[in-house]
Amino acid sequence: MPKRGKRYQEANKLIDRTKLYSPEEAVDLIKKTSTVKFDATVEAHLRMGVDPRKADQQVRSTVQLPHGTGKQVRVLVFAQGEGQKIAQDAGADYVGGDDLVKRIQDGWFEFDVTVATPPMMSKVGRLGRLLGPRGLMPSPKAGTVVPDQDLERVVSELKAGRVEFRLDRTANIHVPIGKASFSHAQLLDNYTTIVDAIQQAKPSGAKGTYIRKIVLNATMGPGIKVDNTKGD
pLDDT at 1 over 70: no
Give the SS3 label for residue 164: strand
Residues contacting residue 173 through CB under 8 Å, at least 6 positions apart: 44, 45, 46, 48, 59, 165, 166, 167, 198
Looking at the predicted structure, is the pLDDT value of residue 231 above 50? no
**What's the mean pLDDT in 132-138?**
93
φ, ψ of residue 29 to 5 degrees: the values are -70, -35
Domain with CATH 3.30.190.20 in the chain: 6-68+162-226
Residues of the chain with CATH 3.40.50.790: 75-160
pTM: 0.82
Q: In this structure, which CATH number among 1.20.1050.10, 3.30.70.100, 3.90.550.10, 3.40.50.790 belongs to the domain 75-160?
A: 3.40.50.790
- Using an 8 Å Cβ cutoff, are 189 and 66 in contact? yes
CATH 3.90.180.10 fits 6-68+162-226, yes or no: no
Length of the chain: 232
pLDDT digits (tens, 9 = 90+) for 70-116: 989 999 999 999 999 999 999 999 999 999 999 999 999 999 999 99
Q: Is the pLDDT of residue 2 over 70?
A: no
Coil, strand or helix at 8: helix
Q: Are 168 and 52 in contact (CB under 8 A)?
A: yes
pLDDT for the residue 3 = 65
Element at 121 (helix H, strand E): helix 121-124
| Residue 28 identity | D
pLDDT of residue 191: 97
Give whole-number Cα distances, 34 to 53, 117, 200, 226, in Å: 35, 40, 30, 17
- At 196 the pLDDT is 96
